[in-house]
Structure 1
Amino acid sequence: MQAIGENTVLAQRYTLTRKLAGRPEQQLWIGTDSTLGREVTVTVFEADSPHAEAALDSARRAAGVEDRHLPRVLDVGSEDGAAYVITEALHGAESIAAMLQFDPLPAEEVRRMIGEAASGLGAASARGLHHLQLTPHDIVTSPDGAVSVLGLSTDAALAGADELSSEEASRADTVALVQIAYAGLTRRWPGDEPVPGLQDVNRRADGELPAPSELVPGVPGDLDTLCRTTLGADEGPRTPGELARQLAPWSSERVTTSTRRTTGSGGDTAATLRAVPGGDRRPSAEPTAPVAAPVGTDGPDSSEPTGSPDSPGSAEGSVPAKVALPKASVATATDDDTAQLSRSDLEQARARSAGAPVTHDTDDDDYDPSFTELEPPVPGLDGHFEPDHQSSRLALLLVVLLVVIAVIFAAIGLRGIGGSSGPDETASAAASRSASASASDSKSKTVKPQPTAKPLQIQRTTSYGINGGDNSGQAAKATDGDQGSAWTSYDYNTADGRGGGQGTGLLLDLGSVKSVDSLKIATSGGPSTIEIFVSDKIEPVSTRDPETTLKGKGTQTAHLDGVDAKYITIWVTKLSKQDNGKFQEQINDVKVYS
């Protein structure tokens, strides 16, 4: 195979610009399509490897799968001993593994991401495609919340793992999805093979896998049961499509705070659900029964759920039988009968079933469900009140009486103010004024000490960016208090490094939400541009605005003016130029002050 490296050109069209990952059987690069002037993702492997033809064939079949959860395959080919697969680039995407650096994910975000991924793999299985190499690094979400599954077109074939039967392969992908759900809930990997960046779960003394609810609080009962039965008892769903149906309905947008799922069988009460973008998504006050949405295209009946409110597990407020659901809430049918139902569609259907007009968007930040129904009138004030003449005279008399009382009290107060004071009172008042003047003069001569900055302890430091960031093993050197040690990014040929403003940097964890007044950063090399982001939870920087921006070199101070934060992201968008002519950021020291 020809030497593969930066600036290598494939098919006289695709220029490799940045390496994302490398495995024994393949390399993953970001490249530029010179014909269309766009970024692409390039998977390169040896054309004469035992599994190369199978991988190219798998990629060609993947190109025929049209599903929004699977990156589109744009080109397949080989030249000079190098085989390549070109797929669309996902700008700013972040993997589940990267999101689990410090904290577990909200349970409803786990439901959403695994449900979306299961839908995509269900569509792929209809074309005989299975992943078979799924890890938390392979499921990513874009800044707009879209979920994608990476590696479907080549990973299984290149690893020689695509020789299983369709049933066995579907079950393997389903188990892998549940393992990723377990990791999302607990930050612990339950699989036999370790996953980079995640800590393995500690099994119980009897060798059994602990349920997620044994490791973290607030895990919804259905997700807890799914993990226990699938990973501990070899039961549960057999295909990705079946898994998607069990997880539905899930939020149609990114969930960024912990929630509890409401079930028709007495599940946990729903807490506040915040989706990004769109503000608050306030769940209905009544329980929400899980709805299985049949999939079909033969007419209106194919999108109507069946069931009875009196059936076991149903609750007041459940969607009754023969209620037409919006077509947008039903996923495209596959051999696994994959379907999904968004929460907003469920609320709309419930309103229609009750005969109430749907007039308000639940994404409205000003919407308050407590005002959806008017309170009954106060007893005794029913109807329109029009006072008679007698009532008017009585009201006028009350007003006059109040005015007279006010005048009397005012006169008494003025007489007290105007009264003369005795000699003792006068002397006392003079002494009081003299003492006050002396105290005032004394205060004016006293210089009030300025508060000193208090350093805050940084609990953990990690690199932050695509695939976990640059040189993650060096991240702690930036906050160890030693100016002689430093975290450095990868070397790049241009100042913007990754291109497209994606950047690279560090993520600081303060352990809890604290008031942050300033941040001092010491760098080496030429000037650079550093954006500072603060938050109380881990969020992609692409979805937020920076708190402040530093442009310069050496030691710089970012003034944050007492902002509350648990996490601080130091995001370098323009790297400094080093003596060797390369562009690289070198951060020697970071200190945080309150």
Structure 2
Amino acid sequence: MQGIAAGSTLAGRYALDRALATSEASETWVATDRTLDREVIATLFPRTSDNAAATLDSARRAAAVEDRHLPRVLDVGTEDDTSYVITEALHGAESLASMLQFDPLPPEEARRIIGEAASGLHTAAGRGLHHGALTPHELVRSRDGSVSVLGVATLAALSGEDDRPGDVASRDDTVALAECLYAALTGRWPGEKPVRGLPSQDRRVDGMLPPAKELVPDVPGDLDTLCSAVLNDDEGPRTPGELARQLAPWSPDQVTERDPSGPQRHLSGAAPRGSHRYVAPAAAAGAGAAGLAAAGAAGAARAGAAGRGTDTSAPTERSVSTDSDPTMVGRPAGYDEDDTGTFDATAYRGRDGYEDDDDGRLDPPMPLLQSGSDDPDQSSSKIALAIVAAFLVTALIFGVVGVKGLFSGKSSDEPQGGATSSATTTGAPTSATTSSSPSVPRGNKIAVSSVDVFDPEGNGTEHPELVKNVTDGNPSTEWMTRIYRTAQYSGLKSGSGLVLDLGKSQQVGSVKITITSNPSTIQVFVTDDPKDKGTTPFGTVTNGSGEQTVTGTKEATGRYVVLWITALSKGNIGGYREKIAEVEVLS
């Protein structure tokens, strides 16, 4: 595109860094928003294009749709001969096309990805918007397992295919989702138009696609039937909402291994408790620039630039029910037939993301709640601004007090008038202090020999496979708890957390905790016996996201450092969980 090169700036704000994809209709770039100092994705196309006005209009309408599956449209405009659409960057994301380069996905992960995508397109359809150009390049999965759909409305407008009646557009999107499901299950693309990077699946002489189960024997019966109904018989769901209903319920977490029970999982009859389990993961590790490549595919105008990345996880178990109807596997009896509804979780007891106790005391996780997807919405952004403003006011007050101390002849460390220092940590008045910004460590970093989940009142399923992330030195990886309905673990237990083994009993002067969630309550204990950590914490953190430092009034001695979470953080999309990125122990 003439005049567009690395270093160019749009609207005096968006500096183009590197090109991601180029097609006849558009170019996609990674750019830096200099006003807000963040990376964004810029889709550029000539203002003289026949479809430029329609594309800009579609992008403006897409910006009004709020759904966690749809990347936000941040800006739309035209400068000189270039029109542009600015969207948020999805860091660490990988396209479905990229995931299928070597093997098909586990069937339950295919169900989850397509179900989440269908939910997002159902929301868009409610605002009169459709995709119209969906391929595996436009479905991307972030490192936390969340699923996004790129290019809603804008890709079809760029290619001039956005003038279809609403019912036809909904059916076309449903067929495209079914094609993506077939590809996810088999690794082969069944559509008429080839998709770059994926081998095509030819139809038979009679014009029919071979059943997915014929290519991959462990494909569940309901998914095989669904693909055949939509792609061979022109039957089945007509809208993304109906498709999501037929796929539900799916795992709230990313699934990384195939069902060890194989096809037997889909036999008719009720599943006994503890049987027919599939594997749900932990979190993805690594990814580098994968998200940028995946997000850039949104502007490739069906050229489909595949995002690259790596994704490794360790499993935890989750049980799934069966149903007497082989086309309805996994749908509980209490399911609500309304397009916009979810299922009755009370009818799903014993088939949740936790190991089920015989007494049935564990409640299921929140239905269809996306795990680990806590991107801030508009309301959360306002709250964040309010918190920042409150922090600045507090800092100003402390600054004034410090200046007064310079002229009072007293040390700023001494309490004025006998008052207790305001830095004393709430909940542990005699033992520790904490601040919302890191304090100077008292000594050197103490090596942590091992980390484990500390869940004495539970069953140890608080993502033990993620604990390594808190000591890997990478703040972009994290450990997280399960999702609960209340901050107090839905009444199931009084707390959970992490235990760090220092290898031997040592003096601990402070503990740094990098938190990636909203305010919560984390008590820190230093002990030689985690089972008897005591009642008086070394310190307490309540400030929420950021690097927090707990510094004891005097060194404590022990082999173990226990992080005991008594109040979980409220997620921005509902539910409660805690996320910790890094923990450092200092002498």
Partner of 2:234: 234
Partner of 1:154: 154
2:234 corresponds to 1:200: no
Match 2:281 to one of 266, 275, 295? 275
Shift of 1:81: 1.3
Q: Are the equivalent residues in 1 in contact too, given 2:41–2:86 (CA < 8 A)?
A: yes
Q: Could you report, residue by residue, the CA deviation over 1:39-93 in whole angstroms, capped at 9, with x for unpaired residues?
A: 0011111112111111111111111100000000110100101110111000011
Shift of 1:366: 10
Shift of 1:342: 11
1:188-587 alignment, distance < 5 Å: 188-259=188-259, 262=265, 265-266=268-269, 270-277=276-283, 280-284=315-319, 287-289=321-323, 337-340=339-342, 346-347=348-349, 356-358=360-362
Highest relative contact order (Cα 8 Å, sep 6+), 1 or 2?
2
- 1-structure distance, mates of 2:154, 2:44: 10
Partner of 2:106: 106
Shift of 1:220: 0.2
- 2-structure distance, mates of 1:115, 1:360: 19
Letter in 2 for 1:222: D
Cα root mean square deviation, aligned? 4.0
- 1-structure distance, mates of 2:326, 2:154: 43
Shift of 1:338: 3.4
Q: Residues 206 and 267 from structure 1, CA distance in 2 versus in 1: closer, same or farther, beyond 3 angstroms?
A: farther
Structure 2: runs of 5+ lacking an equivalent: 284-312, 372-451, 461-474, 478-587
Letter in 2 for 1:10: L
Letter in 2 for 1:181: L
Letter in 1 for 2:93: A
SS in structure 2 of the partner of residue 83 of structure 1? strand
Partner of 1:78: 78
Letter in 2 for 1:148: S
- 1-structure distance, mates of 2:240, 2:325: 26
Q: Residues 51 and 320 from structure 1, CA distance in 2 versus in 1: closer, same or farther, beyond 3 angstroms?
A: closer
**Deviates further, 202-211 or 353-362:** 353-362
Letter in 2 for 1:214: E
Partner of 2:68: 68
SS in structure 1 of the partner of residue 231 of structure 2? helix
Q: Are the equivalent residues in 2 in contact too, given 1:44–1:83 (CA < 8 A)?
A: yes
Q: Are the equivalent residues in 2 in contact too, given 1:250–1:342 (CA < 8 A)?
A: no
Q: Are the equivalent residues in 2 in contact too, given 1:52–1:83 (CA < 8 A)?
A: yes
- 1-structure distance, mates of 2:121, 2:93: 19
Partner of 2:468: none
Structure 1: runs of 5+ lacking an equivalent: 290-310, 373-499, 503-594
Shift of 1:204: 2.1
Q: Are the equivalent residues in 2 in contact too, given 1:244–1:338 (CA < 8 A)?
A: no
Letter in 1 for 2:106: P
Partner of 2:13: 13
Larger radius of gyration: 1
Q: Residues 76 and 226 from structure 1, CA distance in 2 versus in 1: closer, same or farther, beyond 3 angstroms?
A: same
- 2-structure distance, mates of 1:75, 1:359: 42
Q: Residues 68 and 344 from structure 1, CA distance in 2 versus in 1: closer, same or farther, beyond 3 angstroms?
A: farther
Q: Are the equivalent residues in 2 in contact too, given 1:244–1:339 (CA < 8 A)?
A: no
Letter in 2 for 1:231: L
- 1-structure distance, mates of 2:326, 2:194: 39
Q: Are the equivalent residues in 1 in contact too, given 2:21–2:27 (CA < 8 A)?
A: yes
Shift of 1:274: 2.9
Partner of 2:133: 133
Shift of 1:346: 3.2
Q: Could you report, residue by residue, the CA deviation over 1:384-408 in whole angstroms, capped at 9, with x for unpaired residues?
A: xxxxxxxxxxxxxxxxxxxxxxxxx
Q: Could you report, residue by residue, the CA deviation over 1:93-145 in whole angstroms, capped at 9, with x for unpaired residues?
A: 10010011111111111000000000000000111111110111000000110
SS in structure 2 of the partner of residue 189 of structure 1? coil
2:60 corresponds to 1:26: no
Letter in 1 for 2:321: P
SS in structure 2 of the partner of residue 208 of structure 1? coil
- 2-structure distance, mates of 1:312, 1:48: 55
Q: Could you report, residue by residue, the CA deviation over 1:196-229 in whole angstroms, capped at 9, with x for unpaired residues?
A: 0011113223332111111111000000001111
- 2-structure distance, mates of 1:348, 1:87: 41
SS in structure 1 of the partner of residue 84 of structure 2? strand
Q: Are the equivalent residues in 1 in contact too, given 2:220–2:266 (CA < 8 A)?
A: no
- 2-structure distance, mates of 1:124, 1:43: 20
